[in-house]
Amino acid sequence: MAKRKIIIDTDPGQDDSVAILTALGSPEELDVLAVVSVAGNVPLWRTTENALKITDLAGRPEIPVYAGCARPMRRDPVTAEHVHGTTGINGVDLPAPSRPAESQHGVDYLIDTLRANDAGEITLCVLGPITNIAMAMVKAPDISAKITEIVWMAGAYFEVGNITPTAEFNVYVDPEAADVVVKSGVKLTMVPLDVTHRALATHEWLDKFRALGNRCGAAVADMLNFSERFDLGKYGWVGAPLHDPCVIAYLLKPEIFVARHINVEIELNGTYSTGMTVADWWGVSKRPANVTYVRDVDADAFFGLLTERVGRLP
């Protein structure tokens, strides 16, 4: 694959952190321009600090981190400390960041960077609520034409919701932002629970991360050992679903995934279904297709890729 310039927009989060590490372990394929934090799993000050800590852990303190939006476009913030712990990356106790976040706001960084690059240069990898990208599109509509593709861990249809019976967390936190993006016309690939629930981090795989013998492998095992508790208790599966790294793996090895180009709309006014991704997998609505919706993954190939890339790090 040709090397891609990517910006990672994220709310670390243990799974976000594994995604960031996987991306930084793939320098031949991915040029990580920056990390932009957003309020999501935990408040913005923590997601920003966590992004700084994880890039330090990877030995990449030169990767700039920009703090983005501290709350959704319209609704009150919703967080997920019940899954990720108070810090958002419970399971590890990492050193304080070696440097501060950049002074520019993350939304303005997105606008300036997309304007400064040619169309087709930059891919946005979104691992949390999509507030920053939607706000950038509202503030500077011209940037949509510059975005190569947005690959976003978001949504659920066959697997139904995880934060409500119908909505997946990243969409539920800011459904208005999701609606802006799905209606933007930008090439959008959605990586929903329908596929991430087939990427189960079994203890055999966690042992393989730890057996890498490096600090990043140990950190991955420790973080996922913490965050798995909620999902194992809820679902009773042999492993916890590993959500956000599916975004990076999709860029690296799309051939291990199955996807279909379909129509997806966002429910904004449901009594019980606000934040639901209404994924027309069977084409019954006749609405135009606007999303490449990922439905399946070869889990062994996925985890083999992740362990190989994290193994390259310090």
Q: Which of the residues are catalytic?
A: 243
From candidates 7, 9, 15, 166, binder to ligand RIB by CB under 6 A: 15
46 binds ligand RIB (CB under 6 A): no
Tokens read off for 299: 């889990």
- Report how far Cα 144 is from the mean position of its chain's Cα atoms: 19
> Is 60 or 243 the residue whose CB approaches ligand RIB more closely?
243
Percentages helix, strand, coil for the chain (3-state, rounded to 5) are: 40, 20, 40
> Is 114 or 154 the residue whose CB approaches ligand RIB more closely?
154
Q: How far is the CB of 8 from ligand RIB (least distance, A)?
A: 12
248 binds ligand RIB (CB under 6 A): no
Please report, as a single letter, which amino acid is at residue 247. V
Binding span for ligand RIB by CB under 6 A among 10-18, 30-38, 175-183, 249-257: 10-18
Q: How far is the CB of 11 from Ca ion (least distance, A)?
A: 5
Q: In angstroms, rounded to a whole number, what is the distance separating the alpha carbons of residues 71 and 68?
A: 9
Nearest one of 242, 201, 216, 202 to 311, comparing CA atoms:
216
Q: Following DSSP, what letter does each residue of 81-143 receive, concatenated?
A: HHHH-SSSSTT--PPPPSSPPPSS-HHHHHHHHHHHS-TTSEEEEE-S--HHHHHHHHH-GGG
Interaction partner, residue 162 (ligand RIB, Ca ion, none; CB < 5-8 Å by kind): ligand RIB
- Report how far Cα 159 is from the mean position of its chain's Cα atoms: 18
Size of site (CB under 6 A) for ligand RIB: 15
Helix (H) or strand (E) holding 300: helix 299-310
Q: How far is the CB of 19 from ligand RIB (least distance, A)?
A: 9
Q: How far is the CB of 159 from ligand RIB (least distance, A)?
A: 10
Q: In angstroms, rounded to a whole number, what is the distance separating the alpha carbons of residues 196 and 23?
A: 17
Burial group, residue 161, by CB count within 10 angstroms (0-12, 13-18, 19+): buried
N residues, the chain: 314
> Is 55 or 111 the residue whose CB approaches ligand RIB more closely?
55
Q: How far is the CB of 244 from ligand RIB (least distance, A)?
A: 5
Binding span for Ca ion by CB under 5 A among 57-65, 193-201, 242-250, 290-298: 242-250
> Is 83 or 206 the residue whose CB approaches ligand RIB more closely?
83
Q: Binding to ligand RIB (CB under 6 A): which residues in 125-184?
A: 127-128, 153, 162, 168-170
Asked if 200 contacts 246 with a C-beta cutoff of 8 angstroms, the reply is no
Is the backbone peptide bond immediately before 40 cis, with ω within 30 degrees of 0?
no
> Is 16 or 174 the residue whose CB approaches ligand RIB more closely?
16
13 binds Ca ion (CB under 5 A): yes
From candidates 9, 16, 174, 231, binder to Ca ion by CB under 5 A: 16
Helix (H) or strand (E) holding 8: strand 4-10
Binding span for ligand RIB by CB under 6 A among 13-21, 143-151, 200-208, 303-311: 13-21
Q: Binding to ligand RIB (CB under 6 A): which residues in 252-281?
A: none
User: Rule CB under 6 A: which residues touch ligand RIB?
Assistant: 11, 13, 15-16, 40-41, 127-128, 153, 162, 168-170, 243-244
User: Rule CB under 5 A: which residues touch Ca ion?
Assistant: 11, 13, 16, 127-128, 244
